[in-house]
Amino acid sequence: MRKALRQAADEGCKLVVCTGRPLGMVPRSVRRLGVMAYYLCANGATVYDAKGAELLSRTMSNEDVRRMMDEVAPLGPGWNVHSDGQSWIERTGVTYMVGGARGIRSRIRKYFPRSPRQVRSLIRGVMHCALGEQGKTIVPSIRPVIDSHERFEKVVCSFTTDEACEEAILRIEALGGFQVARVWARELEITAAGVTKGTACDWLLDYLGEDKGRSVAFGDSMNDAPLIGHVGRFVAMGNASAELKALCDEVCASLTEDGVALWLEEQMTEAHTSAGMSN
Q: Of the residues 137, 158, 192, which one is the last residue of a structural domain? A: 192
59-63, 137-141, 193-197, 233-237, range with the lowest pLDDT: 137-141
Are 76 and 143 members of one domain?
yes
Residue 171, SS3 per DSSP: helix
Which of 164-178, 200-214, 260-274 is predicted with the least confidence, judged by mean pLDDT?
Answer: 260-274
**6 with 65, same domain?**
no
- When pLDDT is cut at 50, 70 and 90, the band that residue 118 belongs to is low
Query: Does 66 share its domain with 187?
Result: yes
For residues 36 and 48, give the distance between their C-alpha atoms in angstroms, rounded to a whole number.
10
Specify the CATH number for the domain of residue 269.
3.40.50.1000
Residues 219, 188 within the same domain: no
Higher pLDDT, 155 or 109: 155
Encoded amino acid at 211, one letter: D
The mean of the pLDDT values for the chain is 88
CATH of the domain at 186: 3.30.1240.10
Domain count of the fold of the chain: 2
Domain shared by 97 and 23, yes or no: no
Is 121 in the same domain as 34? no
Check: CB of residue 151 under 8 Å from CB of residue 86: no
Which is more confident, 164 or 2? Answer: 164
**pTM for this prediction:** 0.84
Question: Given phi > 0 = left and psi -120 to 50 = alpha, else beta, which region is 239?
Answer: alpha
At 181-206, the pLDDT tens digits run 998 889 999 999 999 999 999 999 99
What percent of the residues of the chain are helix, what percent strand, and what percent coil, each to the nearest 5? 50, 25, 30
Cα 33 to Cα 1, 36, 201, 257, distances in angstroms: 11, 7, 22, 19
Percentage of the chain exceeding pLDDT 70: 84
Q: Which of 148, 166, 192 is at the close of a domain?
A: 192
Q: Name the residue with higher pLDDT: 8 or 129.
A: 8
Among 261, 164, 246, 197, CA closest to 41: 197
Picking from 45, 31, 222, the residue whose alpha carbon sits closest to that of residue 134 is 31
Whether the predicted pLDDT of 100 surpasses 50: no
Q: Which residue has the higher pLDDT, 114 or 240?
A: 240
Residue 64's CB: how many other CB atoms inside 10 A? 19
Rounding to the nearest 10 degrees, give the CA dihedral for residues 263, 266, 270, 273. 160
Provide the residue range defining the domain that includes 121.
60-192
Assess whether 72 and 159 both reside in one domain.
Answer: yes
Tell me: do 208 and 272 sit in the same domain. Answer: yes
Tens-place pLDDT, residues 9-65: 999 999 999 999 999 999 988 999 999 999 999 999 999 999 999 999 999 999 999
Predicted confidence band at 171 (pLDDT cuts at 50, 70, 90)? very high
